[in-house]
Amino acid sequence: MNVNEIASLGSNVKPVIQNENCAVLMLNDATGEGVMKVYRVMPGVMICFSDMHMEQCASEFELKNDRKIFCIDHCREGRIEMEVKPGVFSIMQEKELRLDNRENHKGTTYYPLKHYHGVSIFMEVAEVQKVLDELFHGFSVSIEELRSRYCAEEKPYVIRGDKELGVILSGFYQKNMAHPELAKAKEYYQIKVVELLLYLNTMAVEDRKEVRPYYYKTQMEKIKEIHAKITGNLQMRFTMAELSSMYEIPLTTMKKCFKEVYGDSIYSYQKRYRMNLAANMLLQDKAKEIQEIASCLGYENPGKFSSAFRSVMGLSPVEYRFRKGEILDGK
């Protein structure tokens, strides 16, 4: 089994390296690029490591010939928004696991933090079941039943905060698939896949399911406009009520949706954004007075700016400029 046999990937996905055991795929968009490293670890099972550095891309992924797929996605870093059906978006955050049948995978994908790193375990149900049944003289897990259990709804099934799952998944990132002894690496991943399937089989469907909201396209567009507003002109400040009124979105929905998309409250996000810009300014323009930097970022009171900077960066602006500057200068 290889990716091209079971699905159309789309015109924006190009193979860089491709053989019977692995493929390196490049995904390009006007907002950036991504790399997907796909490894065939046993018949019916592929593991894909994704490293995306872009704001969005069009997914043209479409299954061929009514293939039955069971896919396990894990987000290691970043955020990913996927259009689960026209105009409706699901968000997967850091350390979340998503179980999906890949039947609704065509549409627009967004990376609100401009990066995403994760792994996907991609299984063709009938083929992998046959292999595991032969390997174990009758495998105790029915992958078809797992797929039916977790993918019965139209929306992906999301699990968060399961420590044992976290330990199993950490193993996928620790082994380097480029190891010269590829056969040993494949055996390692075969064991990890079996371990993951056995664990999922022990879970009751509602045990650790994260009840996650789904957002409509109009809401997502407004949240992105709010993000552009609060990061565009940092000398201006807006209250939550002003933003809610300006973009005609209920206050509670606005706060909740912004945190889902960007991983923090609007207030905290603005503060961290300003302080990270301040840190760059302190190092890049050493002639600029701290009061001037504070003013550029909407702080008329240098004392309040210094206090905010210390709360985010752990040092005062003066200390940060001195200590980090010395490191950069090699002293």
For domain 3-202, the CATH class is: mainly beta
In sequence order, what are the beta bridge partners of 73?
A: 98, 120
pLDDT at residue number 180 = 44
Distance CA 209, CA 228 (A): 33
Cβ(271)–Cβ(279) under 8 Å?
Answer: no
**Taking the CA atoms of the chain, what radius of gyration do you get in angstroms?**
23
Q: Which residue has the tokens 């409706």?
A: 88
Residue ranges per structural domain of the chain: 3-202, 216-328
pLDDT in tens, the chain (331 residues): 455 555 455 566 787 877 778 888 888 888 888 888 888 899 999 999 999 898 888 776 555 667 788 999 999 988 888 877 777 777 888 888 888 887 766 677 888 888 899 999 999 999 999 999 999 999 999 999 999 988 876 667 888 878 888 899 988 887 655 544 555 688 889 999 999 999 999 987 665 455 566 788 888 889 999 999 999 888 888 999 999 999 999 999 999 999 888 888 999 999 999 998 998 888 888 888 999 999 999 998 989 999 999 999 899 999 888 877 655 555 4
pLDDT at residue number 287 = 84
Paired tokens of 136: 């174990």
Distance CA 282, CA 304 (A): 16
How is domain 216-328 classified at the CATH fold level?
A: Arc Repressor Mutant, subunit A (1.10.10)
Cβ(1)–Cβ(40) under 8 Å?
Answer: yes
Q: What angle do CA 97, 78, 50 make, to 5 degrees?
A: 70
* 88-92 and 62-63 beta bridge pairing: unpaired
Question: Residue 184: what residue type?
Answer: K
Distance CA 326, CA 98 (A): 44
- End-to-end Cα separation, the chain, in angstroms: 55
All residues at 6 or more sequence positions from 7 whose CB lies less than 8 Å from its CB, including other chains: 61, 62, 63, 64, 67, 102
